[in-house]
Chains A and B, each alone.
Chain A
Amino acid sequence: MSVSIESPRVKPAPRRGVNWEKWGWLYMRASGVLLVVLIFGHLFVNLYAGEGVSALDFGFVAGKWASPFWQWYDFALLWLALIHGSNGMRTIINDYTTVPIGGTRLRRLFTPHYIFKTLLVGSTIVLLVLGTLVIFTFDPCPSGAPADLLPTFCAARS
């Protein structure tokens, strides 16, 4: 049996559809640049300035999220960082697992490749929704909470 090999200088036919791998690659670089700025800002304000980690408590978070600036800052941080991280984990799953071929669709789902990817996509969606809801439904002065745990601007403290 003879095997014919295509000439390597033949231009491959252009692929149809969106090149998701390319956009994923570009997303890592674009979000990476933004994350360098946003995360260094986040670490400076929460872990370096003032009393650092020892100043963190409910009142600290409530003081920040009383302002729409920090709400949108943390919203951008949540979406950019979690999708950046998940896309990185997707690359790692692709590196260390093989894609199953053949078998039924259900059988293919119960292979390491698709088990990891299902967990990855599921946890990412759950955390994006949870985090977004927490940021924008947050109440800095919840009623019934001990007054000394609340930020100073709450009516319960005066």
Chain B
Amino acid sequence: MSLKSTDLPAPAPARKLRPTRTAGRFSLPKRPAGTVYRGGEGMWSWVLHRITGVAIYFFLLVHILDTALVRVSPEAYNAVINTYKNPIMGLGELGLVAAIGFHALNGIRIILIDFWSVGTRNQRLMFWIVIALWAVLMLGFAPRHLMHVFGGE
């Protein structure tokens, strides 16, 4: 079966192309180069969700194995878990909680985009709400955790 041009909807009336707003109020308006999909909150939330997801996944593999050492002996488990208490690993745990916090909050945003009738329309606003809640979470966790890691006994 062949397609006739009348089968297709009439083209939208030509409008003057406006540059896509991807920057804040203090910088010049920009237009994307190459593809219109690139840039903006939607892309960066996707990138961060993927990077944090992979990082959490590989930590999970290690975490299941280190916990399995409780079945070997108390000494073996304590020896490995004590390495989690040195300052470098302490900073790593801060990064881990930061990654989990973002992945969790942005995951809720994804669910709202998928299931909430006006979710897609509000995805940009929800991204900044995710960032704000994540900042509050980290402000609550970071000082306490750093005191546990660097505060001596």
Residues of A whose CB lies within 8 Å of any CB of B are: 4-7, 9, 29, 32-33, 35-36, 39-40, 43, 47-48, 51-54, 56-59, 61-62, 65, 78, 81-82, 85-86, 88-89, 92, 123, 127, 130-131, 133-134, 137-138, 142, 145-146, 149-150
Cα A88 to Cα B84 in complex, Å, equals 26
- Among the 9-residue stretches B13-21, B32-40, B72-80, B118-126, the one with 4 or more Cβ atoms under 8 Å from chain A is B72-80
Residues in B whose Cβ lies below 8 Å from that of A57: 77-78, 81-82
Cα A88 to Cα B145 in complex, Å, equals 29
Residues in A whose Cβ lies below 8 Å from that of B31: none
Cα A134 to Cα B77 in complex, Å, equals 13
Residues in A whose Cβ lies below 8 Å from that of B115: 29
Among B7, B60, B90, the residue within 8 A (CB) of A81 is B60
* B67 close to A (CB within 8 Å): yes
* B2 close to A (CB within 8 Å): yes
Cα A51 to Cα B97 in complex, Å, equals 17
Q: Known A48-B145, A53-B148, A56-B84; judge A130-B54 contact (CB<8 A).
A: no
* B139 close to A (CB within 8 Å): no
Q: Known A7-B7, A58-B70; judge A39-B104 contact (CB<8 A).
A: yes
Chain B residues touching A, majority SS = helix
Residues of B whose CB lies within 8 Å of any CB of A are: 1-3, 7, 50, 53-54, 56-57, 60-61, 64-65, 67-68, 70-71, 73-75, 77-78, 81-82, 84-85, 90, 93, 97, 100, 104, 107-108, 110-111, 114-115, 141, 144-145, 148-149, 153
Residues in B whose Cβ lies below 8 Å from that of A47: 93, 97, 145
Which 4 residue pairs are nearest across A and B when measured between Cβ atoms? A52-B148, A58-B74, A149-B74, A85-B57
Cα A35 to Cα B149 in complex, Å, equals 26
Among B3, B60, B104, B114, the residue within 8 A (CB) of A5 is B3
Q: Known A149-B74, A149-B75; judge A89-B54 contact (CB<8 A).
A: yes
Q: Say whether B67 contacts A131, CB under 8 Å.
A: yes
Among B84, B85, B108, the residue within 8 A (CB) of A36 is B108
Question: Please, which residue of chain A has its CB at the minimum distance from the CB of B53?
Answer: A88
Q: Known A7-B1, A7-B7, A29-B111; judge A146-B100 contact (CB<8 A).
A: no
Residues in B whose Cβ lies below 8 Å from that of A5: 2-3
- Give 14 A-B pairs besides A48-B144, A58-B78 with Cβ atoms closer than 8 angstroms: A32-B104, A39-B104, A43-B97, A53-B84, A56-B81, A57-B77, A61-B70, A62-B70, A85-B56, A88-B53, A89-B57, A92-B54, A130-B65, A138-B70
Q: Say whether B64 contacts A78, CB under 8 Å.
A: yes
Cα A7 to Cα B100 in complex, Å, equals 46
Distance (whole angstroms) from the CB of B51 to the closest CB of chain A: 11
